């Protein structure tokens, strides 16, 4: 047998080396198909070797009861077999992802482990086959020779093809990945074999400390994996998750060999068992419906199983069965969540939830039948619906439901069901699955918020750098554009909401000088409020630029807002404050000196006839009085740009007159008054310039005096807005949809200009 094993190793190694030499002599690059074929052969050989019998090391307890008499050699056999599994799985997956990190790990780690395995081949084999490995014929001995022959040459070829002894800084991170790979393929019997017996007590209702620690690790492990993998590309993430899922499946399968499947009661139809097979399949193939089944059903089932394990009392923490139980349920619990968190699969919608519930219904029906059928051949309890394991934990009422029994015979086989109990079991699980979905969504929403905060912080830093470059050594309180100190400018301003491809405003251009009372006209929904809200900084700009007195609204937001007094169409006041307290509060925000604010407050209180009510709470004011307070708060800091969005609604005639006089006076002092209104006659009386907007497009910008030479403003407005421009706008929107990439490039150019 020793000779046969070495001959198989030698034959495979020589064959692979000869193939490699042929490629090198012909000066051809080794095709990826060669690697895939060799990896496929290795996978088949290893699968049959693994499934043909138990590892002899399974029965080792604290390095005793071993097929190898020497404890040191037993330890070497244990560790080398463990590491050999990690190398084999790595070699099998490598050509299907062809990642540099995998190549690095194979190049160093794989080569060293393969050489050690050949050096200790006798003890390596005895650890798998037993002490009679070389006394009688065992096909697994020959298969192990083939395995070693493939892995050592494979590692050698990868070593020769990947810069040999050259190492880079990025290779250091591969050490962390190698550790993850090693841990994920740890055989379930390893802890018991190395460390023996560690007592611990578990009572599900009490959640003892050891039990809680186990549950903590179920949360800590996926969080660590998430932070390790989150910055990697999708291919890297998928490869590592597949490696971990296959490695843990390998460990889990120590009790599911070929001979185990000969007995139907051993088949792994238990809910959490199915997850071990489903997850690798979903990573290899894009099986969405199967994935969302395990996402909604297996995760919750695994969590309940860990909370209420089907064992209790004093146990050996390192026993093979306990370690295997938690390997199974850890993976079933956190791997689907991790796959969604790392964007391997998209977050589910209602449709996926419906599919998963349909899949669960079919699985539940199958398990009901298999439970009743296989009970004729032994003890089975898939998903705990054939026993009172769950019922006894819920109380007497649940156990009483199991007294309703439906039983019948088919060909001498007895089938027993508990219809009411099993139906309610299914219904409650579906409802809990829906509840878990809402928990998922809450968690994802929280994570999105954290990422949004992080992205905003990054953007603020980039804006600060861009601002410093644009100011060229000048102070941050200086305007970016010194030529625009008394202007309000919109340059190619565009705004889209959310992920919509339709622009609320597209390519708006305006330039308003100090001293102008500028009227802004348009139908409801035309885009007036969108432009105003962007100017005052209530909402972000999609593209383009807005300057207020030379300050860029995006990069100098605070300074830009200091130049603005804003009267919104729907005011929002702190109504528990008095009028005086509120105006003083606004004045504090703008750092208005006490002497200046007192003069202005006295002026506007007298102007708007608020003397008797100014020291009362705002909630006692009428609508018109509240509107006056909003106007006063916009003027208390004497802004260079006064923006009014439908400000005259609800005011009495006297107050309307006073507001108009304020607007005239404010413009006369060299400031800008930007005035949006539906009242065309008032716009005509007040404004020296107007702009008309329709469906997000500024149609015209013109002097009122020029319009009045030919017609009235009202007729001019109606003529302009009734012009059929919709067709051209639709065509422009279509062009915008086709040129999204160009829009991105346009933004980049604008940012470069700022710098």
**Same domain for 121 and 207?**
no
Other beta carbons within 10 angstroms of residue 459's beta carbon come to 12
The answer to whether the CB of 753 falls within 8 A of the CB of 481 is no
Within a domain: 456: yes
**Same domain for 745 and 666?**
yes
Q: Would you give the DSSP letter of residue 617?
A: B
* Rounded CA separation 520/488 (Å): 13
Within a domain: 363: yes
Mean pLDDT for the chain overall = 85
- In this structure, the dihedral spanned by the alpha carbons of residues 424, 425, 429 and 431, taken in order and rounded to 10 degrees, is 10
Within a domain: 690: yes
* Rounded CA separation 323/189 (Å): 8
Long-range Cβ pairs for the range 589-594 (8 Å, 24+) = 590/562, 590/636, 590/637, 592/636, 592/637
DSSP lists the bridge partners of residue 564 as 641
**Same domain for 440 and 337?**
yes
- What does 2-61 look like in DSSP terms, one character per residue? HHHHHHHHHHHHHHHHHHHHHHHHTT-PPPHHHHHHHHHHHHHHHHHHHHTS--GGGG-B
Q: CATH number of the domain that 681 lies in? A: 3.40.50.300
* Structural domain span for residue 107: 1-166
* Rounded CA separation 529/166 (Å): 61
- Give the position of tokens 């200086």: 478
**Same domain for 229 and 351?**
yes
Total domain count, the chain:
3
**Same domain for 136 and 207?**
no
Residue 313, pLDDT score: 60
* Rounded CA separation 608/662 (Å): 11
Domain boundary among 420, 450, 473: 473
Within a domain: 586: no
* Rounded CA separation 621/623 (Å): 7
Measured CA to CA in angstroms, residue 530 lies from 496, 505, 541, 693, 722 at distances of: 10, 7, 10, 11, 22
Domain boundary among 118, 147, 166: 166
DSSP lists the bridge partners of residue 491 as 545
Within a domain: 181: no
Q: Is 110 helix (H, G, I), strand (E, B) or coil?
A: helix
Measured CA to CA in angstroms, residue 549 lies from 409, 478, 509, 751 at distances of: 90, 10, 16, 19
Within a domain: 292: yes
Q: Would you give the DSSP letter of residue 690?
A: E
**Same domain for 92 and 214?**
no
Residue 740, pLDDT score: 42
**Same domain for 743 and 694?**
yes
Return the closest-CA partner of residue 16 out of 137, 133, 158. 158
pLDDT in tens, 268-320: 888 888 889 999 999 998 888 889 888 888 888 888 888 888 776 657 788 88
Overall pTM surpassing 0.75 (yes/no): no
Measured CA to CA in angstroms, residue 55 lies from 52, 253, 522 at distances of: 10, 11, 81
Length reported for the chain: 755
**Same domain for 357 and 234?**
yes
Residue 754, pLDDT score: 40
The answer to whether the CB of 121 falls within 8 A of the CB of 136 is no
610: CB partners within 8 A, 6+ apart: 579, 604, 625, 628, 629
- The angle subtended at Cα 435 by Cα 430 and Cα 440, nearest 5°, is 120
* Rounded CA separation 263/493 (Å): 72
pLDDT in tens, 42-57: 999 999 999 998 898 9
Within a domain: 22: yes
**Same domain for 258 and 209?**
yes
387 alpha-carbon distance from chain centroid: 39
**Same domain for 334 and 440?**
yes
Q: Is 399 helix (H, G, I), strand (E, B) or coil?
A: helix
Return the closest-CA partner of residue 546 out of 508, 504, 506, 500. 508
**Same domain for 147 and 262?**
no
Other beta carbons within 10 angstroms of residue 636's beta carbon come to 24
Domain boundary among 145, 166, 187: 166
Ramachandran region, residue 172 (left: φ > 0; alpha: ψ -120 to 50; beta: rest): alpha
DSSP lists the bridge partners of residue 693 as 698
The answer to whether the CB of 202 falls within 8 A of the CB of 311 is yes
Residue 744, pLDDT score: 41
Within a domain: 578: no
Which residues of the chain fall below pLDDT 70?
A: 1-3, 163-172, 201-206, 312-314, 650, 723-755
297: CB partners within 8 A, 6+ apart: 271, 356, 359, 360, 363, 429, 433
**Same domain for 256 and 355?**
yes
Return the closest-CA partner of residue 8 out of 45, 40, 36. 45
How is the chain split among helix, strand and coil, in percent rounded to 5?
A: 60, 10, 25
The answer to whether the CB of 692 falls within 8 A of the CB of 522 is yes
Residue 737, pLDDT score: 46
- The angle subtended at Cα 278 by Cα 91 and Cα 47, nearest 5°, is 40
Residue 1, pLDDT score: 52
* Rounded CA separation 10/128 (Å): 20
Measured CA to CA in angstroms, residue 577 lies from 2, 628, 629, 656 at distances of: 93, 15, 12, 25
């Amino acid at each position: 047998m020793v000779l046969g094993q070495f001959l198989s190793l030698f034959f495979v190694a020589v064959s692979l080396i000869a193939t490699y030499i042929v490629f090198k002599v012909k000066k051809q690059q080794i095709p990826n198909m060669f690697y895939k074929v060799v990896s496929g052969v290795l996978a088949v050989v290893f699968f049959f070797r693994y499934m043909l019998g138990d590892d002899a090391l399974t029965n080792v307890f604290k390095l005793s009861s071993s097929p190898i008499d020497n404890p040191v050699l037993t330890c070497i056999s244990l560790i080398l077999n463990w590491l050999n599994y990690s190398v084999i799985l790595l070699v099998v997956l490598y050509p299907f992802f062809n990642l540099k990190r995998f190549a690095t790990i194979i190049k160093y780690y794989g080569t060293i482990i393969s050489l050690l395995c050949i050096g200790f081949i006798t003890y390596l084999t005895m650890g798998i086959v037993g002490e009679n490995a070389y006394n009688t014929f065992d096909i697994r001995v020959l298969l192990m020779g083939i395995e070693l022959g493939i892995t050592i040459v494979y590692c050698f070829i990868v070593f020769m093809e990947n810069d040999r002894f050259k190492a880079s800084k990025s290779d250091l991170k591969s050490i962390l990945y190698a550790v993850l790979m090693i841990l994920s393929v740890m055989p379930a019997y390893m802890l018991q074999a190395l460390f023996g017996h560690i007592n611990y007590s578990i009572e599900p209702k009490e959640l003892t400390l050891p039990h809680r620690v186990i549950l903590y690790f179920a949360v800590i492990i996926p969080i660590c994996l998430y932070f390790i993998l989150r910055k990697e590309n999708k291919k890297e993430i998928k490869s590592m998750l597949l490696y971990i899922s296959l490695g843990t499946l390998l460990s889990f399968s120590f009790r599911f060999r070929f001979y185990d499947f000969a007995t139907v009661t051993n088949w792994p139809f238990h809910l959490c068992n199915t997850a071990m097979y489903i997850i690798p399949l979903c990573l290899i193939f894009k099986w969405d419906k199967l994935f969302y089944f395990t996402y909604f059903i297996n995760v919750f089932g695994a969590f309940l199983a860990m909370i209420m394990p089907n064992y209790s009392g004093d146990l050996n923490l390192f026993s093979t069965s306990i370690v295997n139980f938690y390997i199974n349920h850890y993976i079933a619990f956190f791997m689907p969540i991790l796959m969604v968190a790392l964007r391997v699969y998209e977050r589910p919608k209602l449709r996926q939830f419906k599919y998963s519930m349909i899949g669960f219904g079919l699985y539940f029906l199958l398990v009901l039948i298999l439970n009743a059928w296989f009970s004729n051949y032994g003890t089975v309890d898939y998903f705990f619906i054939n026993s009172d394991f769950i019922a006894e934990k819920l109380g007497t009422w649940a156990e009483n439901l199991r007294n309703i029994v439906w039983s019948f015979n088919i060909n001498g086989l007895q089938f027993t069901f508990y219809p009411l109990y099993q139906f309610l079991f299914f219904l409650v699980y579906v409802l809990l699955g829906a509840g878990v979905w809402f928990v998922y969504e809450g968690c994802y929403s929280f994570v999105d918020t954290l990422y949004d905060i992080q992205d905003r912080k990054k953007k603020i830093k980039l804006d600060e750098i861009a601002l410093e470059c644009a100011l060229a050594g000048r102070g941050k309180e200086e305007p970016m554009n010194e030529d625009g100190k008394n202007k309000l400018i919109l340059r190619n301003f565009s705004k889209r909401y959310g992920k919509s491809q339709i622009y609320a405003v597209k390519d708006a251009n305006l330039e308003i000088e100090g001293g102008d009372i500028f009227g802004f006209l348009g139908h409801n929904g035309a885009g007036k409020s969108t432009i105003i809200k962007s100017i005052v900084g209530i909402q972000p700009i999609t593209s383009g630029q807005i300057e207020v007195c030379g300050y860029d609204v995006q990069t100098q937001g605070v300074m830009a807002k200091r130049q603005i007094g804003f009267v919104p169409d729907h005011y929002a006041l702190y109504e528990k404050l008095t009028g005086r307290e509120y105006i003083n509060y606004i004045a504090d925000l703008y750092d208005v000196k006490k002497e200046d604010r007192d003069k202005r407050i006295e002026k506007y209180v007298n102007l708007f006839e608020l003397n008797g009510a100014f020291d009362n709470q705002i909630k006692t004011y009428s609508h018109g009085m509240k509107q006056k307070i909003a106007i006063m708060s916009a003027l208390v800091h004497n802004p260079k740009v006064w923006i009014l969005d439908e400000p005259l609604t609800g005011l009495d005639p006297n107050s309307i007159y006073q507001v108009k006089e304020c607007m005239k006076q404010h413009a006369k002092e060299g400031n800008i008054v930007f005035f949006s209104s539906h009242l065309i006659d008032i716009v005509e009386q007040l404004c020296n310039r107007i702009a008309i907007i329709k469906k997000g497009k500024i149609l015209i910008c013109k002097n009122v005096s020029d319009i009045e030479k030919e017609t009235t403003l009202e007729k001019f407005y109606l003529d302009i807005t009734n012009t059929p421009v919709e067709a051209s706008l639709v065509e422009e929107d279509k062009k915008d949809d086709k040129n999204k990439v160009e829009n991105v490039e346009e933004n980049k150019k604008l940012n470069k200009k700022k710098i």
